[in-house]
Amino acid sequence: MTGHCVLLRTPRLALVFWLLIACWVSETSLAAQDAKDVLLTLTREDQTPVRLTATDFGKLARQQLKATDHEQKISTFEGVLLRDVLQPIGLPFGKELKGKALTIYLLIEAQDGYQVLFTLPELDALFTDKVVLLADRRDGKPLSEKEGPLRVVVPDEKRQARWIRQVKSITVRHAIETRPVRNP
């Protein structure tokens, strides 16, 4: 007989073994369930990522706006202002948005890998009247599977190239300052 069989024949060790297996399976299932429930991941340098669920998203202040999409269809979109979605990661807005903070940008990524970029001043009410909405509803209904669960809507842009659909994550970064290297 091998050592493993002898260990499992001892009632206490067998119980501990099965409890460990049960805990591992439970944690694995919960992690998979949690990952499935995550609607949006917010990531900022030197911080733990924030994972928003649909429940979290639903608690944020909602906005509605009418906009003409890529197919020239006018729709009413509903969701949360992008700047409000960013509150959990503590970005500077208002009078705090100055100096080095002006180099902060957002990289928004879709499930298919498509990416777009926004700067903080584009989202700040002291800099612009532009509205950038992270929508979860269109014409009173949840976004279709093709569009959602989240989509960026920017009604005043002439092209909808940044109307990224199936948004899965927002990564906050600082622009890298590049200076020409002088030759001696």
What residues does each domain of the chain span?
Answer: 3-35, 38-174
Helical (H) or strand (E) element with 178: none
pTM of the model: 0.76
Calculate mean pLDDT across residues 36-46. 89
DSSP assignment string, 67-129: EE-TTS-EEEEEEEEHHHHTGGGT---GGG--GGGGGEEEEEEETTS-EEEEEGGGT-TTT--
Q: What is the rounded average pLDDT of the residues 100-122?
A: 96
Instruction: Give the bridge partners for 128, in sequence order.
Output: none
Give the mean model confidence (pLDDT) for residues 36-60.
92
> How, if at all, do strands 38-44 and 167-174 pair?
parallel
* pLDDT (0 to 100) of residue 119: 96
Question: What pLDDT does 120 receive?
Answer: 95
pLDDT tens column, 119-174: 999 999 999 999 999 999 999 999 999 999 999 999 989 889 999 999 999 999 98
**Separation of alpha carbons 31 and 22, rounded Å:** 14
**pLDDT at residue 78 is higher than 60:** yes
Question: CA-to-CA distance for 51 and 34, rounded, in angstroms?
Answer: 9
The pLDDT score that the predictor gives to residue 13 is: 47
The radius of gyration of the chain's CA atoms, rounded to the nearest angstrom, is 23
> Domain spanning 38-174: which CATH class is it, in words?
alpha beta
